Structure 1
Amino acid sequence: MTKKKHLSQRQHDRIAKNEQRRLQRTDKKSNVVWDDTLLEAPEPGLVISRFGQHVDVEDRHGQIIRCNMRRTISSVVTGDQVSWCRSKQPTGSIDGVIEAVEERRSVLLRPDFYDGLKPVAANIDLMIIVSAILPALSLNIIDRYLVAAEMTGIKPLLVINKADLIDADAQHAIEQQLDVYRNLGYPGLLVSASTGQGMDALLHYIHSGTSIFVGQSGVGKSSLMNNLMPELAAVTQEVSAVSGLGQHTTTVSRLYHLPEGGALIDSPGIREFALWHLSAEEVTAGFVEFRPWLGRCKFRDCKHITDPGCALQHAIAENQISQTRYDSYLKILTSMTQDKPNHF
């Protein structure tokens, strides 16, 4: 495994200057000065997607209007409820301005090496963690997302896609892996966007509220969207035969309304999902099966690794905690130090 190269201070300064220039260029292009007399009264809206400084807002009638944002607004993401004003003289281009963002009931954050914590989407009821047989089934990625779900209070659903690529014995083995999570209260489905296997069960979970697809690139999130909403004709790509890594097909988060009810957000695929912004204690609490044992160790500062009298180690020996989940926990703790940028 190639050791990650840390950026020098000069490189950090260069990145910061380039980012500042980019923001200044964007601001000059999108800094529309709105004459309030040419705007209608404020009305509620739902953010469908965001493109740089432009935001697609859905009004109460389902019409989508592209808007600018007031300079005082620091963050707008897909799923936000906003207050916006419509232009009295629409041009078919930028026909409104967002005045305010309503308080979010939940927000999914993704740590970015350069920009810190970046919000992905807001007001989510269900986080659909999509994995697949290809590029590879990574339980550690699943566990990372589950920790994020626990920290944000968003209910998770595990979905293993591309079941059509394996035989019955392999499917049975994966079902057994899913049972580990089901026994912890996390529902899990084995599906195939190609054959339709398990899609009715998936639809049952997302027919109300707002759900979001998350997961690595190439796991078939766009293919699942196509199956659920064929009229979208979302672009899908095969996993690279050369690298085995997923190809990014979704570049921005976008919200869609399902015909049967409910809303679904398709988010860009990511190859890693870091948790360096959390403390070790938060990650530990993010493993729900650990919680009954916390505070029962012999030493108050127990690291839950090799410390004598560790309650977690006792629980593992008694088969109360899965060894696989514990190993994943240790891997996450190790990666937190390795992944964290020096400038944060």
Structure 2
Amino acid sequence: MTRRRLSKRQIERIRAIQERRRERLANRPEQALADCEAETPPEEGLVVVRHGASLVVEDHAGALHLCVARQHLGHPVCGDRVVWQRGEAGRGLVSAILERQTVLSRPDYSGRDKPIAANLTRLAVLIAPEPEPSGYLVDQYLVAAEGIGVEPMLVATKMDLLDAPARADFERRYAHYCAIGYRTLWISLEQPETLAPLVEALRDQTSILVGQSGVGKSSLVKALLPDRDIQVGRLSAATGLGRHTTSAASCYRLPGGGVLIDSPGVRSFRLGAIGLAELQWGFREFRPHLGGCRFANCRHDQEPGCAIRAALERGEIAAARLANFHHLARGAGA
């Protein structure tokens, strides 16, 4: 059958109809809640779940509310303090993101920074005897934490897998982190008493656990949150996501006080574009020597009169750390 050719006027009419439909779809969340804006006062709340376009906001009394965000608001994430208003059927409208104290981001597929979590005060980098730790990944996390002003710490899990000599060797391999001021904890879920220093370090903080796949993050989260199933049930009821709640970025309340953010976004973490000055500052043991090189644009490689390489020779900087700095500088184009 021969297709009927549409006239120019008919084509314009179809385009106009499609455009109106797109506008209605885009404005639907705000139109559905517009009536509440004049009737309900704005409140401050905490974003505790982010799953696609859905947000769950916790109010001052601890109640949970399923919300949508205004168009062009930005990218609210777990840990954000927001301004929101109540709507009908328990739904709300998030109208503003309050100023963030810190934000952990990673580049998306287009290279633009995408927030993962906001208002963090602690970042715990997990390593384990198995799988073999990646010092390069550890240093990426530490540079990110230093850059946003979050206190990082190193947590070695699964220490029960090592006998005494192997454990001593493992601890020696990562002793340089403790030497430059990073709190380092050695724990095992098979020895619950070893968790006490970590529990204390996370108390009254907003924290996130990061590390490569297989280090036992999920098991550690369950150990730190004995009521996690109850909390997941509350979040699931608020979102209607059911079993998908556990795959959404979520905030959990720690028993001793504080918040633990569990986000799938940290599984594929990497640094984005970063300048040389910022990268150098992210290596805290470099700081006493910055500005001491003969050349202002020194990259701490083969240049003569390099203060960083002199510190390396004196044992003040670990060779592995300088190697990772060079790797990051090449990868980030610094």
TM-score range with shorter-chain normalisation? 0.7 to 0.9
Give the Å deviation of 1:268. 1.6
CA-to-aligned-CA distance 1:116-162 (integer Å, 9 cap, x gap)? 21101111111111222222211221111111111100000111112
Decide whether the 8 Å contact of 1:107 with 1:120 is kept in 2: yes
In the other structure, the counterpart of 1:314 is 310
SS at 2:131's partner residue? coil
Match for residue 113 of structure 1 among 93, 109, 113: 109
Q: Following the alignment from structure 2 to structure 1, what is the Cα–Cα distance between the partners of residues 265 and 116?
A: 11
- Between the two proteins, what is the percent identity of the paired residues? 39
Q: Following the alignment from structure 2 to structure 1, what is the Cα–Cα distance between the partners of residues 121 and 227?
A: 24
Give the Å deviation of 1:29. 7.5
Q: Following the alignment from structure 2 to structure 1, what is the Cα–Cα distance between the partners of residues 163 and 28?
A: 54
Structure 1 position 122 matched with structure 2 position 118: yes
In the other structure, the counterpart of 2:130 is 134
Provide closer, same or farther for how the CA distance between residues 194 and 114 of structure 1 changes in structure 2, counting only shifts above 3 A. farther
**Cα RMSD (Å):** 2.5
Q: Following the alignment from structure 2 to structure 1, what is the Cα–Cα distance between the partners of residues 25 and 205?
A: 34
In the other structure, the counterpart of 1:153 is 149
Q: Following the alignment from structure 1 to structure 2, what is the Cα–Cα distance between the partners of residues 170 and 32?
A: 63
SS at 1:306's partner residue? coil
CA-to-aligned-CA distance 1:160-195 (integer Å, 9 cap, x gap)? 112122222222222223321111111011112344
In the other structure, the counterpart of 2:65 is 65
Give the Å deviation of 1:287. 0.7
In the other structure, the counterpart of 1:192 is 188
Give the Å deviation of 1:27. 4.4
TM-score, length basis structure 1: 0.79
In the other structure, the counterpart of 2:322 is 326
CA-to-aligned-CA distance 1:54-88 (integer Å, 9 cap, x gap)? 1000011111111011114112110011111112x
Give the Å deviation of 1:307. 0.8
Moved more, 269-278 or 255-264: 269-278
In the other structure, the counterpart of 2:271 is 275
In the other structure, the counterpart of 2:331 is 335
SS at 2:174's partner residue? helix
Q: Following the alignment from structure 2 to structure 1, what is the Cα–Cα distance between the partners of residues 304 and 219?
A: 49
Provide closer, same or farther for how the CA distance between residues 37 and 212 of structure 1 changes in structure 2, counting only shifts above 3 A. closer
Which is helix-richer, 1 or 2?
Answer: 2
Which is higher, the Rg of structure 1 or of structure 2? 2
Q: Following the alignment from structure 1 to structure 2, what is the Cα–Cα distance between the partners of residues 250 and 24?
A: 33
1:256 alignment partner AA = Y
Structure 1 position 180 matched with structure 2 position 176: yes
In the other structure, the counterpart of 1:3 is none
Q: Unaligned regions of 5+ residues in structure 2, if any? A: 1-21, 231-244
SS at 1:84's partner residue? strand
Give the Å deviation of 1:37. 5.6
Q: Following the alignment from structure 1 to structure 2, what is the Cα–Cα distance between the partners of residues 26 and 332?
A: 43
Give the Å deviation of 1:333. 1.9
Provide closer, same or farther for how the CA distance between residues 124 and 222 of structure 1 changes in structure 2, counting only shifts above 3 A. same
Decide whether the 8 Å contact of 1:157 with 1:186 is kept in 2: yes
Structure 1 position 263 matched with structure 2 position 259: yes
CA-to-aligned-CA distance 1:76-113 (integer Å, 9 cap, x gap)? 110011111112x4x35xx1111211111111111223
TM-score, length basis structure 2: 0.82
SS at 2:152's partner residue? strand
Q: Following the alignment from structure 1 to structure 2, what is the Cα–Cα distance between the partners of residues 198 and 26?
A: 53
Q: Unaligned regions of 5+ residues in structure 1, if any? A: 1-22, 235-248
Q: Following the alignment from structure 2 to structure 1, what is the Cα–Cα distance between the partners of residues 189 and 285?
A: 31
Give the Å deviation of 1:305. 0.3
Provide closer, same or farther for how the CA distance between residues 306 and 264 of structure 1 changes in structure 2, counting only shifts above 3 A. same
- Number of aligned residue pairs: 298
